[in-house]
């Protein structure tokens, strides 16, 4: 059925995920939803030095929020911070250098952050698509380490901080590519069979949807959501998917268009009124499975994912310095 899922997803993508799809959907947006002042609220955005992360951070800064940029590359991050401060006039932009593929580093950062800051909204945007199987210094497959385990560790480490705040939110940037994948808990690090970076990435994005649904059940005081930004023209797309970029570059969304639903989920009072745990596209909840695609997984697989990630998380917490 994989050929069917891929074909349906691509046709859906041509119709909905491109710039034209955004322009069509945006006719139904209520501008007042995001015309808000969020001064006094604290937002943390991972992968904030470029692409959708930077566009999101900039839009939140324009609305007066305190923004914590979590980035891996110090030089690019400092340039992004300077750009955001200059363009928005908001001085409350803070920079943290953290590699989201390194769980020990995440734990160390989160423990320090919890002691020094408050947090109202966490935006898990950092991600990668590595097209050959690479291992981190901890022996973790790099896509899994960044997209799934890194998201899990950072979120769970910051939950105690979020639990203290009113209207706390967690937003994870996923991908419509997850629609072609059924959750696979038997090979989380893609050690078996032929390695396909695009499909590994899509599997990680399915895992993020499951994480969001599970967190929403377990933490009722926090509003969780996961979203698809559409196909946007970002540095990550250009470098990781050059063939796709060449074919689609004239139809791709801008970074701001890709970030629109992230910003809406982060700041809009309307978004917070919707049920927790949903998957969004263009400010609307949408299904997490294609019709007839056979991508539903049994509850025990979803529980197993959470158990395995918690085991990894605790292992790296115990070896974290500081």
Catalytic residue positions?
A: 201
How far apart are the C-alpha atoms of 150 and 73, rounded to whole Å?
16
Q: What is the 8-class DSSP label of residue 223?
A: E
> Would you give the distance in Å from CA 196 to the centre of its chain?
21
Q: Judging by DSSP bridges, how do beta strands 278-281 and 168-173 pair with one another?
A: unpaired
How far apart are the C-alpha atoms of 213 and 216, rounded to whole Å?
5
- The tokens describing 209, both together, are 């949807």
How far apart are the C-alpha atoms of 153 and 47, rounded to whole Å?
15
The terminus-to-terminus CA distance of the chain in angstroms comes to 48
* 83 contact partners, CB below 8 Å, separation of at least 6: 54, 58
Which one, of 226, 99, 185, 189, lies nearest residue 150 by Cα?
Answer: 99
- Residues 205, 209, 211, 217, Cα dihedral to 10°: 180
Give the DSSP per-residue string, 245-307.
HHHHTTTPBPHHHHHHHHHHHHH-HHHHHSPTTEEEETTEE--SS-TT------HHHHHHHHH
Q: What is the 8-class DSSP label of residue 232?
A: B
Provide the strand spans (E) within 128-184: 168-173
């Amino acid at each position: 059925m994989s050929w069917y899922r891929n074909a349906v997803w691509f046709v859906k993508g041509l119709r909905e995920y491109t710039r034209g799809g955004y322009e069509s959907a945006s006719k139904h947006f209520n501008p007042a939803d995001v015309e808000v002042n969020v001064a006094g609220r604290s937002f943390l955005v991972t992968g904030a030095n470029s692409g959708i992360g930077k566009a999101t951070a900039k839009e939140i800064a324009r609305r007066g929020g305190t923004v914590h940029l979590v980035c891996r590359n110090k030089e690019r991050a400092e340039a992004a911070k300077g750009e955001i401060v200059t363009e928005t006039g908001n001085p409350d932009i803070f920079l943290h250098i953290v590699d989201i593929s390194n769980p020990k580093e995440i734990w160390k950062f989160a423990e320090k952050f919890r002691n020094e800051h408050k947090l109202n909204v966490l935006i898990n945007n950092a991600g990668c698509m590595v097209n050959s199987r690479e291992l981190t210094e901890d022996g973790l497959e790099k896509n899994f380490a960044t997209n799934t385990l890194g998201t899990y560790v950072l979120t769970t480490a910051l939950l105690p901080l979020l639990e203290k705040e009113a209207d706390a939110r967690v937003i994870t940037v996923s991908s419509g590519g997850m629609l072609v994948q059924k959750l696979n808990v038997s090979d989380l690090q893609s050690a078996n069979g032929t390695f396909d970076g695009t499909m590994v990435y899509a599997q990680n994005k399915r895992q993020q949807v499951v994480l969001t649904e599970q967190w929403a059940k377990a933490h009722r005081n926090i509003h969780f959501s996961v979203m698809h930004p559409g196909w946007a023209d970002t540095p990550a797309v250009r470098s990781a998917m050059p063939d796709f970029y060449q074919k689609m570059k004239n139809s791709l969304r801008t970074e701001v268009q890709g970030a629109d639903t992230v910003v809406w989920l982060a700041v809009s009072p309307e978004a917070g009124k919707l049920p927790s745990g949903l998957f969004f596209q263009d400010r609307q909840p949408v299904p997490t499975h294609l019709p007839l695609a056979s991508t539903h997984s049994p509850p025990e697989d979803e529980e197993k994912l959470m158990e395995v990630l918690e085991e990894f998380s605790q292992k790296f917490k115990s070896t974290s310095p500081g």
